[in-house]
Amino acid sequence: MSLDRRRFLNACSSLGFASTLLPGVLYTIAAEAEDAKITAALIDHAALIAGIPIEPDQKAAMLSILNTNRKGFDELRALNMPNSVPPAIIFDPMPPGQTPASPPAGADPRKPLRVSPAPAIAGKDVPKDLNEIAFATARELGELVRRKKVSSLNLTEMYIARLKKYDPTLHFVVTITEERALAQAKEADKEVAAGKFRSRLHGVPWGGKDLLAVKGYPTTWGAGGFEHQMIDEDAAVVQRLDAAGAVLIAKLSLGSLAQGDRWFGGQTRNPWNPEQGSSGSSAGPGSATSAGCVGFSIGSETTGSISGPSTRCGVTGLRPTFGFVPRTGAMTLAWSLDKLGPLCRSVEDCALVMQAIWGPDGQDQACANAWFQWNAEYDWKKLRVGYLKDDFEMPWVQPTPPLVADATPEEKRAYERRKASEPAQMASREYDRKFDLAALEVFKKMGVQLIPVAFPEFPYDAMRGIINAESAAAFDWLTLTGRDKPLTDASGSSWPNTWRGARFYPAVEYIQANRARELAIRAFAKLYEQVDVIVTPTSGPSNQVAVTNQTGHPAVIVPNGLRGADAPATPAVVAGPGAVGPAGGAGNQGGGPHTPVSLTFLGGLYKDAETCALAHAYQQAAGFLKLHPPLA
């Protein structure tokens, strides 16, 4: 055939098909035909898009197979599988020959081995206006409740009042669980009075990303069309935090179906700069924690959704190793990538929350029998610490590739937008680089001998098809029924187009991408034979957010400074191929004047506690622990 790939895609577009649609569009065309048959001519067009040669004498043999397959698709769709049903294939990030550490005999799995010394706040009188302790850490709040210096009920009422006060500006609340929260707080106070102390989080108010099911309250997934969805269960992490005595006060916003920071209630805002979005998709947890409206929060990450809001809003986030925290009762976006984790005001807070939520629940089959126990006195000096040298030293805004000779009008417009944004991107990166270099000086003062490392080279961008295919399957019914239209109208989400395209991502290529992923996992295992933890700027040329989400490694994101009044204005984010910044919600972290920057610690698989120990030590040494936005 003489028709080239670009012209065929343009022809599809002119006929009303999105240019992202791949070979399976033929099934759609055939289904609309009266005889619902796939023809040899359709195979020719499909072969162009798939990039495979098909000889004329091979088509006849294919026709029977393809038409049979399409009938099978109809039978599978008739099952109407809900989002909560997982595939039979379970992802395991552990390479061959390695297993997570098992719990030691006789250890109490829900108690930390050691916590930090009693915070100074515990020895002082609590102010009459509890807003003065709104930005206290969960460790501090828990100690105040334990010592009966403040009641859980009073804390709960204070934080609920703050949610109501700041939500009109920041748009981080979907539902305040007030009745449930007040009942929990009263019960927590009764138990403290009786000498019963469930955990270091006992009586501490928290908020959960609204993809976590909570009985009696809507679970909206942040999406238009799901505003009144009720799920008759408590998510596993909700149950575990209930058992720890923590008090759930709100279901917090997420970008529509876990993408970005726009949801059916608007755009969640950054408390440091309310003209700016909070990043996503754990938009509400990042914003509410930063604004001192919850003691801590639970978010989720598939490819950047804890990292992005933690950086943008200046909070500390923990993205656990894949399979460390059960996702039962949480919305599925991608089975082999989704992770739940805390967003807090300190590393130790994250560790204390992790202490309550880790481990198998008997339902999430990807949840490993690994072991987490926080030890604030862990000897972090024995850890071998690597650093991504190029990410600290190289500018991560690369020059725009030359425009191809036969570029379409849209490609030309994208090229011009990217070229125009380069100076602002470079200025922002150069400004932020001083924070990265300052971090290296902090490590030097800590006595850490940093080991330069680089990620193994693999086509990580090509693995993006995994999340596209899995999320398209998770929300299959939206595409098939047209219920994806409210998503676009409500949030400008690009999921609908992504999912339409992903329906035609070949199964063979999905498997090949996962095989490449396995090779990357094995290569990372060799890298972690040389080091225990790797530190890096959160954004950089290595695109660590996207890469390490594919390999399942844990990350701790800590605030690393505050831009001054002289910082460049926020550069525009460039969309499309070659987009700046990590995928899946973290985006470009350039925040403009008076906004935070962050540093990321990447640990070995299921070495989350050790990674937290180093990040905790850095947070104490760097001096950014008490940063919070200028809110009353």
Per-residue pLDDT tens for 446-501?
Answer: 999 999 999 999 999 999 999 999 999 999 999 999 888 888 654 445 798 889 88
- State the sign of the Cα–Cα–Cα–Cα dihedral 325, 328, 329, 331: positive
Whether residue 11 is predicted with pLDDT greater than 70 in this model: the reply is: no
**Choice among 118-127, 277-286, 531-540, 577-586 with the minimum mean pLDDT:** 577-586
Whether residue 316 is predicted with pLDDT greater than 70 in this model: the reply is: yes
Kindly report, residue by residue over 325-383, the tens digit of the pLDDT: 999 999 999 999 999 999 999 999 999 999 999 999 999 999 999 999 999 999 999 99
Q: What is the pLDDT of residue 486?
A: 81
- Residue 65 — pLDDT band, cuts 50, 70, 90? confident
pTM of the entire structure? 0.90
Phi then psi dihedrals of residue 214, to 5 deg: -135, 120
CA atoms of 232 and 222, how far apart (whole Å): 18
CA atoms of 143 and 175, how far apart (whole Å): 28
153: amino acid identity, one letter = L
Residue with tokens 């995928």: 583
Look at 407 and 306; give whichever has higher pLDDT.
306
Look at 294 and 47; give whichever has higher pLDDT.
294
Closest residue by Cα to residue 601 from 341, 320, 298, 357: 320
Residues above pLDDT 70, as percent of the chain: 89
Whether residue 576 is predicted with pLDDT greater than 50 in this model: the reply is: no
Whether residue 3 is predicted with pLDDT greater than 50 in this model: the reply is: no
- Asked whether the beta carbons of 372 and 608 are under 8 A apart, the reply is yes
For domain 131-376, say whether CATH 3.30.10.20 is its number: no
* Per-position b or e across 596-610, b if 16+ CB within 10 A of its CB: bbbbbbbbbbbbbbb
Whether residue 59 is predicted with pLDDT greater than 90 in this model: the reply is: no
Q: What is the pLDDT of residue 575?
A: 36
**DSSP labels, 9-64:** HHHHHHTT--TT--TTHHHHHHHHSTT----HHHHHHHHHHHT----HHHHHHHHH
- Antiparallel, parallel or unpaired: β 205-209 and 173-176: unpaired
Q: What is the pLDDT of residue 47?
A: 79
Per-residue pLDDT, averaged over 415-443, amounts to 89
Mean of per-residue pLDDT scores for the chain: 88
Whether residue 75 is predicted with pLDDT greater than 50 in this model: the reply is: yes
Per-residue pLDDT, averaged over 539-565, amounts to 96
- Please list the residues that pair with 601 across neighbouring strands: 535, 556
CA 630 to chain centre: 26
Q: Which residues contact 65 (CB under 8 A, 6 or more apart)?
A: none
Decide: helix, strand or coil at residue 230. strand
Q: Is the peptide bond before 281 cis (omega within 30 degrees of 0)?
A: yes
- Please list the residues that pair with 388 across neighbouring strands: 453
CA atoms of 571 and 294, how far apart (whole Å): 30
Per-residue pLDDT, averaged over 10-31, amounts to 41
From the CB of residue 322, how many other CB atoms can be counted at a distance below 10 Å?
27
Decide: helix, strand or coil at residue 416. helix
- Antiparallel, parallel or unpaired: β 451-453 and 385-388: parallel
Whether residue 71 is predicted with pLDDT greater than 90 in this model: the reply is: no
29: amino acid identity, one letter = I
- Residue 28 — pLDDT band, cuts 50, 70, 90? very low
Q: What is the pLDDT of residue 519?
A: 97
End-to-end CA distance of the chain, in Å?
68
Closest residue by Cα to residue 237 from 143, 318, 304: 318
Whether residue 2 is predicted with pLDDT greater than 50 in this model: the reply is: no
- Using CA atoms, how far residue 392 sits from 146, 308, 341, 388, 537, in Å, is 42, 19, 26, 7, 7
How many Cα atoms sit within 13 Å of 44 on the Cβ side? 10
Q: What is the pLDDT of residue 395?
A: 64
CA atoms of 409 and 135, how far apart (whole Å): 50
Q: What is the pLDDT of residue 9?
A: 42
Per-residue pLDDT, averaged over 101-123, amounts to 88
Order of all β-strands in the sheet with 205-209: 173-176, 247-252, 205-209, 296-301, 339-344, 316-319, 555-562, 596-603, 533-537, 385-388, 451-453
Residue with tokens 């993205």: 319
**Residue spans per domain, the chain:** 5-77, 131-376
What are the structure tokens assigned to 155, written together?
């804390």
Q: What is the pLDDT of residue 396?
A: 63
Instruction: Cite the active site residues.
Output: 209, 281, 305
- Asked whether the beta carbons of 249 and 294 are under 8 A apart, the reply is yes
- Please list the residues that pair with 267 across neighbouring strands: 262
- Residue 8 — pLDDT band, cuts 50, 70, 90? very low
**Choice among 105-119, 179-193, 225-239 with the minimum mean pLDDT:** 105-119
Q: What is the pLDDT of residue 328?
A: 98
Look at 7 and 495; give whichever has higher pLDDT.
495
- Asked whether the beta carbons of 353 and 306 are under 8 A apart, the reply is no
* Per-position b or e across 7-38, b if 16+ CB within 10 A of its CB: eebeebeeeeeeebbbbbbbbeebeeeeeeeb
CA atoms of 225 and 455, how far apart (whole Å): 41
- State the sign of the Cα–Cα–Cα–Cα dihedral 425, 426, 431, 437: positive
* Per-position b or e across 559-574, b if 16+ CB within 10 A of its CB: bbbbbeeebbebbeeb
Closest residue by Cα to residue 550 from 609, 467, 468, 611: 467
Helix residue spans in 223-296 (DSSP H): 236-243, 283-290
Q: What is the pLDDT of residue 38?
A: 79
Q: Which residues contact 93 (CB under 8 A, 6 or more apart)?
A: 321, 322, 323, 521, 551, 552, 553, 605
